[in-house]
Structure formats: structure tokens, C-alpha cells
Amino acid sequence: MTAANGHTRESPLRVAVLAGGRSSEHEVSLSSGRAVREGLLAGGHQVLWVEISREGEWRCDGELLSPTPGHGLLGADVAFPVLHGPFGEDGTVQGMLETLAIPYVGSAVAASAVSLDKILFKELMSASGVPQVDFVGLSVSTGGLGSGPSNAELLERLGLPVFVKPAHLGSSVGIVKVTAPEELDAAIEQGFSHDERVIVEAAAPGREVECAVLGRLPGDGDGDGDGATLASPLGEIVFGGEWYDYEAKYAPGGMQLIVPARIPPAAESRARGLALEVFAAAGCEGLARVDFFVDGERVLVNELNTMPGFTPTSVYAKLVEAAGIPYPQLVERLCRLARERHRRLAGLRH
């Protein structure tokens, strides 16, 4: 069957949508998963809803699942793990899907693990020469608080304010803004209550800008050039509070997305190029959202999300739509990309 754009239209897919999970972003994941389900149904695909409880149980239609390695998942053609944070976006579920031998949407184990670990990601970007916000990483395994530079040395390097973040959480969970030296110890201790690794970051001036990166299928002609990935138009995040916290991200009216971002053309070109560079350096596949701070023509990478919020009103989907790809086509493309990668890797000898 041939579609209106001249491409061959493939048969409908049977997709296992995984949502929920053990992290603090459980509810966000359910919201994203429901949106993905509706987008796939709108595209004529069959959806198997797999809900992962806060305790880690996998259920479909209320029945507890016991997947068997090498036997796929519920007879699905592809899995779409719409999971955010630890136990879902960090390579753990990706590893399980590898053992099940089922194609899955998004980055593989290593890229997922590195990208969710804010310290490892920034160290990788430093080694790749990517401009980014200055930071210091702390770890319980090396003694935690007091094992690295003193507070005075840390603040002399980073200045004030600084942001203290658990290394593996998303959606701004557990982040503390420190505006005075005496606040730093308590902020770091709070970070360690969420995670065994904590990152302390310098504040960055300028606008918060985001770019959606999306892989292309063979024969795709959308976007700029003939590269293997598409970098969307940039979106500028405008929020009412002091910084882009959880409430700003998820409360109604907490933020406004302005597309295109109000930045100079040179900065726009630099950010879109960096988005593709960072995506490749981290070894990502399928999709990612890359976040920046832009001050005039200066562009700094903030972080990369391998599975950003996925409702039609989420930043990622809006940016892809600005590139001319509607939501149902987006979620279908991601499933097709997953199957294409699975076919490619199946030809390798291990």
C-alpha cells in the first residue's frame, strides 16, 4: 500500500506500551504512556497496555506478567517504554527488553544509563569538548559530603547561586537552589537522601532553550540535509518562578513554550548542531530532548533526556510538530525506528 507522500505504508503494529514504574516520576510516566497509546490507536495500531507498579510488578489487563528471556513480550512487534527516571530510563528496562529479544523504542542500555547519570553525562561531554555549565560531582562511594573539595573551594569555583541535584532523577525532583554558603551542606545532604551521587552545578545566565532530536527512517526526506537524525526548531522555556522546577513543568500554566526561541540566528544554528553532536556522542538512538542555556550567541549544554515527557502538549512533541511531524506519525516513526534497529543488530555475530 502506498501513502499520499509516496512512501510504502507498512502494516499496523502490535505495540506494548510500558508505563508507570518505580521512580518518583510514576504519574508523569502514566500520563505520557496514555498519550502514546492514544497516538498509536489514532494511527491504526494495536496497543497492549503494560502498567508497571511502584513496586515493579508488570501487569497487562490486571494479569501479572512473567516474561521469558528470548520469547518477546505478549506477542508484540515492538515495545514502547514510556518510562522516566530510575528503573526505566536508566538502562535497566532496556536491558530486560534486550533479553526478551523484542525491539524497543529509544536508546539502548549504555546510552540510557550514561544520559540519566548527570555526572557521567557531563564528564562524557567534557571529554568530547562540548561547552556546558561547570559542575562538581559527589558520590557516597567516595565518602560523599566532605570527600571532595571543601565548601569554600567548591563555591570559589562555581560561585553562587548553585543548584544541587540528585544525579539520577528527572522532572526537577530533589533539586535545591543554594543562594548562601551556609545552605550548601543541607542541600547536599538532601541530594544524598535521593541518590548516592549528587551533582553541584553553577548557575547559567540566559534563556532556557530545548531541541527535539528524532531519528530518520531509510528514505525519509524531512528536515535539513541528509543526516541520520533531525534537529527540531528550538523552543524557549518561559516560567514564572525563579527556576524551571517541578511545579513549572507540570502545573497548569506553570510554563510557556515559545517556538521559535527568541535567540540570534547564530545561536540557533549552534544549538541545533550541538543537539546532534551531543546525541551522537552519548550514543543515543531514536529520540532525545537536548536542553541548553543561551546567552546572546553563547550556547551551553545543560542535559539530555532519552525519554522526555510524551504527552501531545509536552515540549518534545510540540517541537517535533513544529518540524512538521504530527503526534500519531511521531509515535509510529519511533516504533518503526526500533524495528529497523532490531533488524540491523540481528545481522551481527556475537
Please state, in angstroms and rounded to a whole number, the distance separating the CA atoms of residues 186 and 182.
Answer: 8
Backbone angles phi, psi at 19, to 5 degrees: -145, 160
Please state, in angstroms and rounded to a whole number, the distance separating the CA atoms of residues 327 and 37.
Answer: 11
Q: How many CA atoms lie within 13 A of 59 on its CB side?
A: 11
Please state, in angstroms and rounded to a whole number, the distance separating the CA atoms of residues 45 and 162.
Answer: 46
Which amino acids are annotated catalytic?
Answer: 25, 171, 250, 289, 291, 303, 305, 309
Type of residue at 206: G
Give buried/exposed letters for 253-277 (b at 16+ CB in 10 A, else e). Answer: eebebebebebeeebbebbbebbbb
Q: What is the DSSP string of 59-80?
A: EETTEEP---TTS-STT-SEEE
Please state, in angstroms and rounded to a whole number, the distance separating the CA atoms of residues 200 and 184.
Answer: 10
Residue 73 in grid coordinates:
513480550
Virtual torsion, Cα 173, 320, 40, 170, nearest 10 deg: -10
